[in-house]
Structure 1
Amino acid sequence: MTRPTPEGERESERHVQPEAPAPAAPLLLIGATLPDATTADILIEQGRIAGVWPEGTDGEARTAAADRLDLTGFLLLPAPAEPHAHLDKVLTAELLRSAGGGLDDAVRAWYAYRATASHGEISARAATAAQMMLEQGVTAIRTHVDVGTQTGQRYLTALLDVRKSLLPLLEMQIVAFVDEPVTGLAGANNRAALRTAMADGATAVGGAPYRDADPVESQRTLLKIAADYAAPADLHTDETLDPAAFFLAELAAYVRESEHPYKVTASHCVSLGTQPDDVVRRVSADLAATGIAVVCCPATNLYLQGRTREHAAPRGLTALRRLMAAGVHVAAGGDNIQDPFNPLGRGDPFDTAALLVLAGHLDVDEAYAAVADEARAVMGLPEARIVPGAAAELLAIRATSVREAIARRPADRIVFHAGRMVSRTDTVRYRDDLTELTR
């Protein structure tokens, strides 16, 4: 791809995605800049970081490494993870139009379309979007996938195929996002469809309890089904600016009273941001005490929420600072990519981090942690730090600091999953006379 850049320059971008290799030989990364601004050599063996040394020091373990990669000019970071995606819906923006642009309008547009998509189309769109994320540095994705009486299991089947095909390159968790209702007699078939999805290979239980006729009972029902399969639950929780649609406190109460033993994530939690401060403090403390994590989805919720206000529109984000202060694991996800719920998006966690800085008022290190360390914690993945023994899930990006990486979001990126390079994108810049510029 070639695109114009300032001052008459040209930039060409070349992406290389190696085919899945056999188990990698030891790999030595040379001269990488770390987040603390030091430079180091990093040895990777058996999918883990075996050693970290200040650049230029001697060491026999490093000289024994079979392969070497010069990372001079690159910032080395723990790889980001995507804790909230909808790979069943991605890349449909050209096919679908959401009349009013709000959440209900997007839901109607999607429901009218979803029965028409073929297995091949679903798989192709999902695989394309997943590889977009991989190119940006994401080595683990949690995606919600519609299942239920209206949807059937077609989208799940397609995503299971995509997960299998991408397994050597990234990890994919699939949340069975069940149609509503799930409560009462009217919800019996949806509950059965959810159980079928879990038996067929879904990773976690999902749904939108706040849209059910009985939101509190819906939360309990979904967590009970999750417990039956010893699986985590990730619920779309209170995705609205209506302060009356607020069921997060009851979710925490049920987890505490039932001693629910499996991981629970509350995604969106938009209405928490509309509550009085004393309520926010109390509920945040309850979430921390029960281990419930929160995933904020800034891009989609900034796009969908507040559209009825022509001025002084609220931001549609959850209470980030209060949750973090209480000790809640707070991650952030990109959510929708070019579909009725968000016509934009490119699967880049640095875009999500930038929105956390600009709209959520987090600092740059907090913002990156939300799309990396915290995202991995929410997904139940091993820590990916640049220390001996940590999982070698890494991203090298052409930048000198986390701030610069979020600000510029350069395309030059090298992605490591399970200790081996799985994606690399290089750019070369030229003047109008085709003279190559140094980076």
Structure 2
Amino acid sequence: MSWLRSAMTAAGDIVDVEIADGVIGQVLPAAGTAGTPTDDAAAAGGLGPDDVDLSGQVLLPSFVEPHAHLDKALTASLGRNLTGDLAGAVAAMDLLREVTTPADIITRAEAALRIHLAYGTTHIRSHVNVLNEVGLSGLEAMIEVRERWRGVIDLQLVALVNDAAGPLLREALKIGADVAGGCPHMEDDPDRAVAACLDAAGEAGRPMDLHTDETLNPAALSLRTMADLVLRTGFPHGVTASHCVSLSMQPVETQREIAQRVAEAGIAVVALPQTNLFLQGRDHPVATPRGLTAVRPLLRAGATVAAGGDNLRDPFHLVGRGDALEVAALMITCGHLDPIEALDTVTAAPRAAMGLPAVALTPGAPADLVAMPATDVLDALGIAGAERTVWRDGRVVARTVVRSELAAPAGTSSVSAAAAWSMASSTPFQPKA
């Protein structure tokens, strides 16, 4: 048993959090605030041997990445996207695949996992190419990675097929893929591809997560087909639609109608601002669309809207830090969410989409947490510094310490960056009621 002392919550409360047996035991007002914890160590004003002082830090549920491509990660310098768009990225990966081995996939995927973990991500859903011209070798490599990292970062693997009606999707689900996937909008008959994926997922008793309408072409609208099929069949295993770019190009009434159907069907939508901002809109030189799904209409309808980083430094997105706070900041900037809503898209919403237990600073919740220096949650989003501590099931699985030394103006002494931040006091952000 241990305590996390004097941490600030997203709501601005200063609390002491007890961790016992991998879950949160108690959450009490920190000593010296509105109430006092009753345990002896706090009453004595000290820390127990396993306690952690989080004074000046914000404590949040750990982050969840609902849409990654770990089998492609960190290949941007190896395969050039000559056109900058989706077709160029696919062409670059086709060439790179000819010289990529399963060992290469494992090495880069594990490097990407370390990046995500250091920034506070403890669960990832990764799509893995299972293509007719390649077979199952990439998936087999990623299954090895999943098992090796289980309990530190938990992976859900999506079999991403290019022929939903072919045998590979069912074979992939048999050998260990967790989720059925595909790209219906890139097949000759998108509606048939959606139905074929749903059939394969239903037979295997697995969830489905499809790359859906990843285009600004308003005529592409497989999301409506997906919602209708799920409602008609009563598919019980969980459905996620990723990207849903063309929904943003629909008239307001169409957006509202489809969003309501999506919410009624229980389909979670994953917005992917980084990759879609990079790939989409290159043929719109004037008033370039943002390439982001219709976030606000979906939320108004009551749909689950998560957000992910998608591609990490590969031909589909050349940069990116692997940091959920970068994604959340983009959901504020281009999705027009408020900070608490944006944090929800990288914490609670992806957990719901992936069927994971909810995490909150409440007794009984899993102790999957991340803490970082900040005066409040808005400060944490704005700084998005690398200094973080990450807990998984109550044990520390990552700790990054940063020290900066700054030159001082004439007549003053040098101060550390941490001291500078503490001197720059601000009014705590107040979330919307």
Structure 2 length normalisation: TM-score? 0.91
1:6 corresponds in structure 2 to none
**1:151 aligned residue (131, 134, 148):** 134
Aligned residues: 406
1:103 corresponds in structure 2 to 86
Alpha-carbon distance, 1:430 to partner: 1.7
Q: What whole-Å deviation, never above 9, does each CA across 1:270-295 have from its counterpart, x for those lacking one? A: 00000111111111110111101100
Do the aligned partners of residues 309 and 49 (structure 1) sit closer, same or farther apart at CA in structure 2, a change above 3 Å counting? Answer: same
SS of aligned partner of 2:311:
coil
Alpha-carbon distance, 1:148 to partner: 2.6
- Contact 1:176 1:198 (8 Å CA) reproduced: yes
Alpha-carbon distance between aligned partners in 2 of 1:164 and 1:48, rounded to the nearest angstrom: 23
> What are the within-5 Å matches in structure 2 for residues 287-436 of structure 1?
287-431=262-406
> What are the within-5 Å matches in structure 2 for residues 5-404 of structure 1?
26-56=1-31, 57-60=36-39, 67-179=50-162, 181-183=163-165, 191-404=166-379
Alpha-carbon distance between aligned partners in 2 of 1:129 and 1:122, rounded to the nearest angstrom: 10
SS of aligned partner of 1:334:
coil
Structure 1 stretches of 5 or more lacking a match? Answer: 1-25, 184-190
Taking CA–CA contacts closer than 8 Å with sequence separation of 6 or more, which of the two structures ends up with the larger relative contact order?
1
Higher mean alpha-carbon deviation, 368-377 vs 110-119, is at 110-119
SS of aligned partner of 1:429:
coil
Alpha-carbon distance between aligned partners in 1 of 2:251 and 2:37, rounded to the nearest angstrom: 58
Alpha-carbon distance between aligned partners in 2 of 1:176 and 1:55, rounded to the nearest angstrom: 46
Alpha-carbon distance between aligned partners in 1 of 2:371 and 2:312, rounded to the nearest angstrom: 24
Alpha-carbon distance, 1:66 to partner: 5.9
- Contact 2:268 2:303 (8 Å CA) reproduced: yes
- Please tell me the residue identity of whatever aligns with 2:179: A
Alpha-carbon distance, 1:62 to partner: 6.6
SS of aligned partner of 2:403:
strand
SS of aligned partner of 2:121:
coil
2:430 corresponds in structure 1 to none
Higher mean alpha-carbon deviation, 397-406 vs 328-337, is at 397-406
SS of aligned partner of 1:428:
coil
Alpha-carbon distance between aligned partners in 2 of 1:349 and 1:141, rounded to the nearest angstrom: 11
Give the fraction of aligned pairs with identical amino acids, expressed as a percent: 42
- Contact 1:368 1:402 (8 Å CA) reproduced: no
Alpha-carbon distance between aligned partners in 2 of 1:115 and 1:195, rounded to the nearest angstrom: 24
Considering only aligned residues, what root-mean-square deviation do their CA atoms show, in Å? 1.6
Alpha-carbon distance, 1:116 to partner: 1.8
- Please tell me the residue identity of whatever aligns with 1:157: E
- Contact 2:16 2:37 (8 Å CA) reproduced: no
- Contact 2:125 2:158 (8 Å CA) reproduced: yes
Structure 1 length normalisation: TM-score? 0.90
SS of aligned partner of 2:109:
helix
- Contact 1:148 1:194 (8 Å CA) reproduced: no
2:429 corresponds in structure 1 to none
Alpha-carbon distance, 1:435 to partner: 6.3
2:428 corresponds in structure 1 to none
Alpha-carbon distance between aligned partners in 2 of 1:77 and 1:421, rounded to the nearest angstrom: 14
Alpha-carbon distance between aligned partners in 2 of 1:212 and 1:418, rounded to the nearest angstrom: 41
Alpha-carbon distance, 1:168 to partner: 2.9
- Contact 2:390 2:399 (8 Å CA) reproduced: yes
- Please tell me the residue identity of whatever aligns with 2:39: E
